[in-house]
Amino acid sequence: MNEKELTKEVDKRRTFAIISHPDAGKTTITEQLLLFGGIVREAGTVKARKSGNFAKSDWMEIEQKRGISVTSSVMQFDYQGKRINILDTPGHEDFSEDTYRTLMAVDSAVMVIDAAKGIEPQTKKLFQICKMRGIPIFTFMNKLDRDSRPPMELVDQLENVLGIEAYPMNWPIGSGRIFKGIYDRYNHRVELFQPESNERNFLKLDKDGNIEGDNQLEDDDIYGDAKDEMDLISEAGNEFSAEKIKNGDQTPVFFGSALANFGVQTFLDAYLKMAPAPGPHKTLAGTEVEPNDENFTGFVFKIQANMNPHHRDRIAFVRICSGEFKKGMDVTLDRTQKSIRLSNVTEFMANTRENVKTAVAGDIIGLYDTGNFQIGDTIYTGKHQVEFEKLPQFTPELFMRVSAKNVMKQKSFHKGIKQLVQEGAIQLYTTYSTGQYILGAVGQLQFEVFKFRMKNEYNSDVLMEPMGNKIARWIDPEQLDEKMSSSRNILVKDINEEPLFLFENQFAERWFKDKYPNVKLTAKL
Ligand code: G4P
């Protein structure tokens, strides 16, 4: 591929993640998008993959679930001349640091909110990471076919709870049983909600924003209210700013119902016009790598271990930052400066005939790995060394004391922990007082994977004692006095030897702050 062809291919890419709280409708919306992309023929395909409750101890099922999640980790399809990569951000019991790290590999995010519930905790956490990265965030208010909160309140929440400017692209006309559709100021039309019809039905708006010709809807109070609100927003609301959207300071807001496939295509069409193609990536040296650079570069943002003891391989997920991937190519792994041949690779390609099999900047590849890669690793071709910026550390919320079951097997225990921590599977802390090990995670699954891999890969049975939720706050070593520690704020150090407290709850944290008003406590992301 020459530079011109590469640039053209890269410009076609749209790589994003859907961020939401469980049950807001992420799976349903993904399915609709795949339908538009011609990947699934019937709704329900992705849904069927999403297994329901499973017994945590039943490894077969976890393995199955994990196996499945490899194929649905990245979904790629073509739509209107664009190649779309949707990266899955697992929630529920699959929530882990990988969920956060996936957000490091996307160029934009789609935030799905249940319009009856408003902003929920998981959405808020994921939003903050996108915000920190300064990537564009597009909002879809879902489930308008059910009674929803007043749309003004939902938009208000975006501004006041998340602190992002909202720009409604369209506005719901009622909700629930009286849901009539959306007033679409972006496309100058009213899109009618007619679930019994298979067609999309529109009414055009004239230049004053009124429905063209005679229509009963104009006499409907619900329509009148929606139009008044939209007019008010047009006059007194935020001004549309492509620049702010690009920097993640303003979010375009769309309304609809994923289940009824209403408003989703309108959303997707607008999203594709506004969302960015892959941009440059910053290196540690302070330079930027352009996506159409002829050299291939990428970084590992997630490692998925195979839970099947007979297959110890793992998959390292790589976001391509520049160039073109070719099967069998040799790359340099920056951390070790070793050359590695990329021969055993999963490409997350759309399963259509016209699909040309190329992977370029913006795409994701999965490398079968026997232990070469760590999270955050950079790989590259060409003579010039490349190391991308470090992935951030996240603040864990769940903690477990951990020790070796068999005291005679300390060696394998320490080796296993060291490697799993290095790999980024889990975080490790050591108490100041007794040197005991404490594991930290953002989701329960990380502990389960840890325990399983310790046994299967390092032949080490571990004892784990849950400590529950804690609030981790780092303290400047200069300000630290070991006497500050108590049973309600355990003093530990992280793998970089930086001290932090694990507070029992917010009350304990507040009490500490009152007692030591001059001590500065900080969280990671
Ligand atoms: P998630 O991936 O974000 O966890 O959510 P998911 O799509 O699984 O949706 C959660 C539930 O909400 C599902 O119902 C789904 O059918 C429903 N849902 C999603 N979008 C809409 C919508 O626009 N309107 C309405 N009314 N419901 C919606 P469920 O009963 O939990 O599952 P199922 O019985 O449909 O399988």
For 223-254, how does the pLDDT look when each residue is reduced to its tens digit (9 = 90+)? 999 999 999 999 999 999 999 999 999 999 99
pLDDT category at 54 given cuts 50, 70, 90 is very low
ipTM at complex level: 0.97
Residue 65 has pLDDT above 60, yes or no: no
Pocket test for ligand 1, best of 19, 88, 259, 265 (most atoms within 8 A of CB): 259
Residue 59 has pLDDT above 60, yes or no: no
Tell me what pLDDT residue 213 has: 87
Tell me what pLDDT residue 90 has: 81
- Which residues, including other chains, have CB under 8 Å from residue 271's CB and lie 6 or more apart? 14, 110, 138
Tell me what pLDDT residue 312 has: 66
Pocket test for ligand 1, best of 19, 21, 28 (most atoms within 8 A of CB): 28
What the block records as the tokens of 367 is: 């490398």
Residue 1 in any domain: the answer is no
pLDDT in tens, 177-207: 999 999 999 999 999 999 888 889 999 999 9
Tell me what pLDDT residue 409 has: 86
Residue 215 in any domain: the answer is yes
Residue 55 in any domain: the answer is yes
Tell me what pLDDT residue 18 has: 95
Amino acid letter at 514?
D
Residues 297 and 155 in one domain: no
- Average of pLDDT values for 481-497? 92
Tell me what pLDDT residue 354 has: 44
pLDDT in tens, 330-387: 999 999 999 999 988 877 755 444 444 679 999 999 898 888 899 999 999 999 999 9
Distance from the CA of 443 to the center of ligand 1, in angstroms?
Answer: 22
Task: Count structural domains, the chain.
Answer: 3
Ligand 1, CB cutoff 6 Å, lining residues: 20, 22-28, 47, 142-143, 145-146, 257-260
pLDDT category at 506 given cuts 50, 70, 90 is very high
d(CA 411, CA 374): 22
Residue 64 has pLDDT above 90, yes or no: no
Residue 251 in any domain: the answer is yes
d(CA 414, CA 57): 24
Residues 293 and 402 in one domain: no
Q: Which of 21-35, 88-102, 322-336 has the lowest mean pLDDT?
A: 88-102
What separation in angstroms does the CA of 386 have from each of 3, 227, 286, 295, 359? 20, 53, 11, 10, 20
Of all protein residues, the one whose alpha carbon is nearest to atom 33 of ligand 1 is 47
pLDDT category at 1 given cuts 50, 70, 90 is confident
Q: Of residues 349 and 275, which shows the higher confidence score?
A: 275
Look at phi and psi of residue 115 and say left if phi exceeds 0, alpha if psi is from -120 to 50, else beta: alpha
What the block records as the tokens of 200 is: 């999309």
- Average of pLDDT values for 106-124? 97
CA 367 to chain centre: 20
Tell me what pLDDT residue 50 has: 47
Strand (E) positions, 363-517?
364-369, 378-380, 398-404, 427-431, 437-441, 462-469, 471-475, 489-493, 499-503
Helices (H), 432-522: 444-458, 506-515
Of all protein residues, the one whose alpha carbon is nearest to atom 4 of ligand 1 is 23
Residues 294 and 313 in one domain: yes
Distance from the CA of 118 to the center of ligand 1, in angstroms?
Answer: 15
Q: Of residues 407 and 322, which shows the higher confidence score?
A: 322
pLDDT category at 51 given cuts 50, 70, 90 is very low
pLDDT in tens, 119-143: 999 999 999 999 999 999 999 999 9
Residues 115 and 169 in one domain: yes
Place of tokens 């699959």: 94
Q: Which of 110-119, 223-232, 307-316 has the lowest mean pLDDT?
A: 307-316
Residue 483 has pLDDT above 80, yes or no: yes
pTM score: 0.90
Residues 116 and 264 in one domain: yes
Residue 108 has pLDDT above 50, yes or no: yes
- Which residues, including other chains, have CB under 8 Å from residue 477's CB and lie 6 or more apart? 498, 499
Residue 150 has pLDDT above 90, yes or no: yes
Distance from the CA of 18 to the center of ligand 1, in angstroms?
Answer: 15
- Domain of residue 427, residue span: 398-522
Chosen domain end from 380, 414, 429: 380
Residues 368 and 425 in one domain: no
Distance from the CA of 47 to the center of ligand 1, in angstroms?
Answer: 9
Residues 208 and 338 in one domain: no
Residue 10 has pLDDT above 80, yes or no: yes
Residues 58 and 180 in one domain: yes
Beta bridge partner(s), residue 254: 140
Q: Are 298 and 320 in contact (CB under 8 A)?
A: yes
pLDDT in tens, 437-476: 999 999 888 898 899 889 988 999 999 999 989 999 999 9
Residues 250 and 374 in one domain: no
Residue 310 in any domain: the answer is yes
Q: Which of 32-41, 265-274, 277-286 has the lowest mean pLDDT?
A: 32-41
Distance from the CA of 84 to the center of ligand 1, in angstroms?
Answer: 23
Pocket test for ligand 1, best of 18, 19, 23, 144 (most atoms within 8 A of CB): 23
For residue 286, with 0-12 CB atoms within 10 Å meaning exposed, 13-18 middle and 19 or more buried, which class applies?
A: exposed
Residue 60 has pLDDT above 50, yes or no: no
Positive/negative CA dihedral, 80, 82, 85, 91 = negative
Output the domain CATH number for residue 488.
3.30.70.3280
- Average of pLDDT values for 198-226? 92
Chosen domain end from 243, 274, 305: 274
Q: Which of 31-45, 178-192, 348-362, 492-506 has the lowest mean pLDDT?
A: 348-362
Residue 356 in any domain: the answer is yes
Residues 367 and 235 in one domain: no
Averaged confidence pLDDT in the chain: 89
- Average of pLDDT values for 428-437? 94
Q: Are 3 and 290 in contact (CB under 8 A)?
A: no
Residue 385 in any domain: the answer is no
Chosen domain end from 274, 290, 320: 274
d(CA 186, CA 267): 11
Residues of each annotated binding site for GTP: 20-27, 88-92, 142-145
Q: In what order do the strands lie in the sheet with 499-503?
A: 462-469, 398-404, 437-441, 427-431, 489-493, 499-503, 471-475, 521-522
Angle of helix 264-274 versus helix 26-36 axis, rounded to 10: 80
Tell me what pLDDT residue 92 has: 76
Nearest residue to 500 via CA among 367, 379, 396, 417? 396
Q: Are 82 and 272 in contact (CB under 8 A)?
A: yes
Q: Are 47 and 28 in contact (CB under 8 A)?
A: yes
Residue 82 in any domain: the answer is no
Residue 155 has pLDDT above 70, yes or no: yes
- Average of pLDDT values for 213-220? 89
Angle of helix 444-458 versus helix 410-423 axis, rounded to 10: 130
Output the domain CATH number for residue 291.
3.40.50.300
d(CA 458, CA 406): 13
Residues 174 and 191 in one domain: yes
Residues 16 and 110 in one domain: yes
Percent of the chain residues past pLDDT 70, beyond the cut: 90
Tell me what pLDDT residue 61 has: 46
Q: Could you say which DSSP state residue 185 is in?
A: T
Nearest residue to 37 via CA among 89, 82, 87, 70? 82
Q: How many helices, marked H, and strands, marked E, lie in the chain?
A: 13, 30
Q: Which 3 state secondary structure label does DSSP give 212?
A: coil
What the block records as the tokens of 337 is: 């400066």
